[in-house]
Amino acid sequence: MMGETNPADSQPGSIRGDLCVSIGRNIIHGSDTLVNAQREIALWFKAEEFVAYAPCAQAFLYE
């Protein structure tokens, strides 16, 4: 969905393939590990800002 880090290597239909033009100015970010994701999220959000969310259709989609 995101595409390769280098937009030139990304497939058409991916976010980076369709909307990005350079590596340094990516339109989307994805962390490479869970530990890095937790560290990066903590840079921008406080624990009390997170909420639990379940779509109303979840009961119909999952057992």
Q: Which of 61, 57, 3, 58 is nearest to 30 (CA)?
A: 3
Instruction: Decide if 33 is catalytic.
Output: no
User: 22, 29, 49, 56: which one is catalytic?
Assistant: 29
Residues 6 and 23: beta-carbon distance below 8 Å: yes
* Site of tokens 């490479």: 32
* Active centre residues (catalytic): 29
